[in-house]
Amino acid sequence: MRPIFSAETRRRLQENDPKWHVKAILQLICTVLAFNAFILFADATAITNRHYPTAYNDWSDWMPLFPVLISLIYNPITFFLLLRRLGKPIHHGWHLGFHFLIWALGIPSIVFGVGYGWFWWWQPVIYQYRNGVIPCRGYNYWSEPCQPAIYTVGRLEIAANVFLGLL
């Protein structure tokens, strides 16, 4: 199997930053996590807006898009800069600043996204007729057979918050 980089490039990367491969792998992992979280949050927002027009612009779904987008832009750029500059380090202030910004926006997004998520409305079917029909009023209003969209959105929110937390 042929290596991706030439021997000279690998030597120069190793000379300038002995941990370049760890940094590159972590930046690629963060990019994949951010991409997955972005897709899940965007899908949750679209489904919420489609099924519940009064909940239009549900901030608990779009608020986490900011730290995800920053990570989605920042990590690939620093990955390519790492390879382009052959491992010469980028100033640590940039890394700390961007990671602090991602966490400063991400922690409140997770807290409020979980605190105000649609999955808190989930409930089991409480009342059912003998013939199997589930009345979608009163006690059963928020059950899955009556409100399937909140269950889809809730699952997407849980998965997206997990990805954001790993980011």
Place of tokens 């608020």: 63
* pLDDT value of residue 5: 67
Please determine, for residue 77, whether its predicted confidence score (pLDDT) is greater than 80. Answer: yes
Mean pLDDT highest for which of 30-34, 76-80, 138-142? 30-34
CB 42 within 8 A of CB 36: no
Cβ-count burial 65-97 (b if 16+ within 10 Å, e if not): bebbbbbbebbbebbeebeeebbeeeeeeeeee
Q: If you average pLDDT over each of 3-12, 51-60, 104-113, which comes out highest?
A: 104-113
Mean pLDDT over each residue of the chain, to the nearest integer: 80
Residue type, position 89, single letter: P
Q: pLDDT digits over 122-149, tens only?
A: 777 777 777 777 787 777 777 878 788 8
> DSSP of the chain, one letter per residue?
---SS-HHHHHHHHHH-TTHHHHHHHHHHHHHHHHHHHHHHHHHHHHHHHH-GGGTT-HHHHTTHHHHHHHHHHHHHHHHHHHHTTTPPPPHHHHHHHHHHHHHHHHHHHHHHHHT-GGGG-B------TTS----SGGGTTBTTT-HHHHHHHHHHHHHHHHHHH-
Q: Name which of 111, 41, 50, 47 is nearest 71 in CA terms.
A: 41
Q: What pLDDT, on a 0 to 100 scale, did the predictor assign at position 36?
A: 93
pLDDT at 57: 57
Would you call 106 exposed, middle or buried from its count of C-beta atoms within 10 A (0-12, 13-18, 19+)? buried
When mean pLDDT is compared across 13-17, 79-83, 149-153, 154-158, the lowest value belongs to: 13-17
